[in-house]
Chain A
Amino acid sequence: MLNFISQRRMFLWLAMLSLLILPWCVGSVGGNYWVRVLDFALLYVILALGLNVVVGFAGLLDLGFIAFYALGAYTFALLASPHLTQSFAAIAVLFPEGLHSLIWLACLIGAVLAATFGVILGVPTLKLRGDYLAIVTLGFGEIIRIFLNNLDRPMNLTNGPKGIRAIDSIELFGISFAKSLDLGFIQVPALYLIFYLFLVLACIATVICMRLQNSRIGRAWVAIREDEIAAQAMGINTRNLKLLAFAIGASFAGVAGVLFASFQGFVSPESFTLWESIVVLAMVVLGGIGHIPGVILGAVLLAIFPEVLRGVVQPLQNALFGHVLVDAEIMRQLIYGLALILIMLYRPKGIWQKRGASTS
């Protein structure tokens, strides 16, 4: 018994250590490009965990999930860029130094805003059966995207298809995450700093999910997913719990959106299409709907794999055929499409099977 615990603990320490030095390894081998890939992978982890709460815990297929990501992103884009001050004289007067919201405050606002929209989406759709819910949420996602794309008239709120640029980079505790941090004995490049920040947030997200899963709320969600009528017969207010799932999942996406906007420095409606919702769904499905470690693995794999492809397949095709027959973007989509079909057909519980019961 003691052996097992100390084995587990050692494994955890090893994992943490490897994660700490990971950006250094990756950076020296692959350069900044690959560290960026890792950073985005972590954002996807947070997104996938959020969708997992909705789909995996409560069993509600949300195909418009990316809309919450968009809401978070645009929230920060509006609160921390020159756009509003440039478009509205009144705001320029109110904020002569420009709008530069604190990122943690924006995260809070983004989370609350996304959660609110999550509830707004949930209220009319709760009685719907699985596939109808999926289509309605899809419609909701599209509506948000269409509004983002068109709200540049009559007032320029979102700058339409051009998107919003010059968004502030991340700044926390006085440290700017846009340049390297000089620690005296070591220089930590900006991308590595961001990796650590996103890693911390992803860990927090994971802990939240695990605690929810092993709680009264988590059990109630699984009960609802298994048999809603029986869950009601247990005195569970299924309506409120479903709304809660929507809200929590959405808030994860909202926070991730704020981080995304700040990291990328630029947002446009193109980043928030149905395809992105499907990508996150694929991550949850690949990992095993409801299975937290699996979902994290799925997110990391599906975030990194296409980049590997891009780096490998295109030069390979150039070498073999003289030009690129199938570009990486197409290959990526092909793989996602096949993955969704094949997993449902052959390994519906995900590639990393969960052992035993669905909770605890």
Chain B
Amino acid sequence: METFLQQLVNGLVLGSIYALIALGYTMVYGVLGIINFAHGEVLMIGALVSLTLIQGLMGFAPFLPGWLVLVLVLPITMATCAALSYTIERVAYRPLRNAPRLAPLISAIGMSVLLQTIAMMVWSRDPLMYPQLLPALPIQLFNSAVTITGKELVIIAVAFLVMCALLLLVERTRLGRAMRATAEQTKIAALMGVNPNRVISITFMLGGALAGLAGVMIATNYGNANFYMGFIPGLKAFTAAVLGGIGNIRGAMLGGLLLGLIESLGAGYIGDLTGGVLGSNYQDIFAFIVLIVVLVLRPSGLLGERVSDRA
């Protein structure tokens, strides 16, 4: 039981992070109908940029408390990621709007490689230590069965707040309406006075900002950052978006949380389930298996729309 609860908590942490990244995929898919393959690299750049900023700030003003450093660095990081995401769209996707569908995907792969390479050049190949700026404060829950640290709580709380804010944005504001209109019928939205290019750019920027936040969270959670850290979480978050129903914002949130839980519980129990044949080092496989199962059995995801070819 303890394992279960502990893994539940781990799953919530993972899931919150996946949800934030998944939102970027789902929003872009909603307005453009494509998968932003380079999205995972945005989170990676976010983590590394924040690292540099943190090191800079701490060197410049060492008296600042850890959490304040983070609070100061975060907006800049998220803005940088928003700008990066915007650039990716302009360079790799916009010119290829009318090209056959494989073209933007291949271009995005190239962009992904490029970003990783730039990260390698600027920050070196080796994993870099990420400072623990949040209080460790392990808190015991449920009669010491479950331990949750301060940083994990912060991650969950911040992710939750941000997601609520996003929902408010999408459902209650003019911009949100424009986004939803563009997602449903781009040309008609344009006729109604919505500037689709602007909406698309803003969508990318929003997704980028969220990815940046997620990048900082991942780096904080695991204590390190390196050029390759975006790839696997990006892939898993994509799975989460598909699981929830791609194009559907609540779906991305639900999918993210679910995937985090599946992965955590799976990793926790896989040893028992397979009689020791497979261990938790197979953790990454769960996401891929979920992806394949979802796409084969229920491609519309839990809350969403169709993904397969139709006449």
Contacts and interface: CB of A to CB of B under 8 A. Distances in A.
Are A and B associated in one complex? yes
Interface of A: 55, 59, 61, 63, 124-125, 127-132, 134-136, 138-140, 142-143, 146, 150, 153-154, 228-229, 274-275, 278, 281-282, 285, 289, 326, 330, 333-334, 336-342, 344-345, 348
Nearest to B281: A150
Given A131-B35, A136-B291, A337-B114, 16 more contacts: A55-B102, A124-B295, A127-B309, A131-B101, A131-B102, A132-B242, A136-B295, A140-B292, A153-B279, A154-B276, A275-B113, A330-B117, A337-B113, A340-B106, A342-B110, A344-B110
B252 to A, nearest CB: 16
Contacts of B231: 274
Contact of A281 (B106, B121, B307): B106
A278 B285 contact: no
Contact of A138 (B121, B235, B279, B311): B235
Given A146-B285, A153-B279, A341 B291 contact: no
A67 to B, nearest CB: 12
A344 to B, nearest CB: 4
Interface in B48-96: 91-92, 95-96
Contact of A326 (B107, B116, B121, B299): B121
A344 B111 CA distance: 11
B308 A278 contact: no
B102 A281 contact: no
Interface of B: 34-35, 37, 91-92, 95-96, 99, 101-107, 109-117, 120-121, 231, 235, 238-239, 242, 276-279, 281-282, 284-285, 287-289, 291-292, 295-296, 299, 307-309, 311
Nearest to B103: A344
Contact of B120 (A132, A330, A339): A330
Contacts of A136: 291-292, 295
Contacts of A146: 282, 284-285
Nearest to B95: A345
A59, A125, A129, A282 pick with most chain B CB within 10 angstroms: A129
Contacts of A342: 110
Nearest to A121: B292
A150 B282 CA distance: 8
A228 B101 CA distance: 14
B235 A135 contact: yes
A340 B235 contact: no
> Which of B92, B105, B235, B299 has most A Cβ within 10 Å?
B105
A337 B296 contact: no
A51 to B, nearest CB: 12
B103 A142 contact: no
Contacts of B309: 127, 129, 228
B106 A285 contact: yes
B96 to A, nearest CB: 6
29 contacts: A61-B106, A63-B109, A124-B295, A128-B307, A129-B101, A129-B308, A129-B309, A130-B101, A130-B102, A131-B101, A132-B35, A132-B242, A135-B35, A139-B291, A146-B282, A146-B285, A153-B279, A154-B276, A278-B113, A289-B102, A330-B120, A333-B113, A336-B110, A337-B111, A339-B110, A341-B92, A341-B111, A344-B107, A344-B110
B26 to A, nearest CB: 14
- List 6 A-B pairs, minimum CB-CB distance, nearest first: A340-B110, A337-B113, A337-B114, A139-B288, A341-B110, A344-B107
A132 B99 contact: no
Nearest to B112: A337
A128 B105 CA distance: 15
A128 B235 contact: no
A134 B105 contact: yes
Nearest to B288: A139
A340 B96 CA distance: 13
A131 B284 contact: no
A314 B154 CA distance: 46
